[in-house]
Amino acid sequence: MAGPIHWDRVKFIPDYDSKGWWEATKRREYVVNQCNKCGNKWFPPLPACNRCQSTDVGWFKTQGKGFIYSYVVVVQPIFAHFVDAVPYVVAVIELPDANNPGHYATRIAAVLRDDEDKVAIGLPVEVDWEETPDPEIVIPFWKVSGTADNTWKFPG
Ligand SMILES: [Zn+2]
């Protein structure tokens, strides 16, 4: 990430579905939705289970660890608060402890603290927290946390 993110240029407004997620980030916990009926897990927050359609939805506290499933490098700042941060990496991160055996993986999208030269598909990552001027809003970033034997990078 080239420069700072200007958190004063954005206002996060938790809604009914994401309120619990923002409460968890304030506690430095990375959570995903979990169906209280069938155990299915998913992200981003939604009002009903996409496997059994139950609206009895809760939260699953992950370990805040995963691996890079894929990534892109953002070079054009779409949001005003990111104008000095480009280029930065947005990764699709798989969370093994939140996977749904026999069904599908739980993956999230997140901004990485690491620059492109440090990033590769397959590398382990862990969550890292950043406070904002709004004491109710703590942002999860992710960072590379180790090495892996079988990694792949976009050429260039
Ligand atoms: Zn369900």
| 45 within domain boundaries | yes
User: Which domain covers residue 40, as residue numbers?
Assistant: 16-144
Distance 84 CA to ligand 1 centre (A): 41
For the entire predicted model, the pTM comes to 0.93
* pLDDT average, residue stretch 7-25: 95
| 149 within domain boundaries | no
Distance 48 CA to ligand 1 centre (A): 8
Distance 98 CA to ligand 1 centre (A): 14
**How many structural domains comprise the chain?**
1
Q: What is the pLDDT of residue 102?
A: 84
Structure tokens at 2: 């080239």
Burial of 13 (C-beta count, 10 Å sphere; 0-12/13-18/19+) = exposed
The 10s digit of each residue's pLDDT in 84-129 is 999 999 999 999 999 998 888 999 999 999 999 999 999 999 999 9
Q: What percent of the chain has pLDDT over 90?
A: 88
Distance 44 CA to ligand 1 centre (A): 15
Distance 75 CA to ligand 1 centre (A): 38
CA–CA distance, 150 with 96 (Å, rounded to integer): 17
Distance 46 CA to ligand 1 centre (A): 12
| 5 within domain boundaries | no
| 50 within domain boundaries | yes
**DSSP string covering 79-95, please?**
SGGGTTT-SEEEEEEE-
CA 64 to chain centre: 9
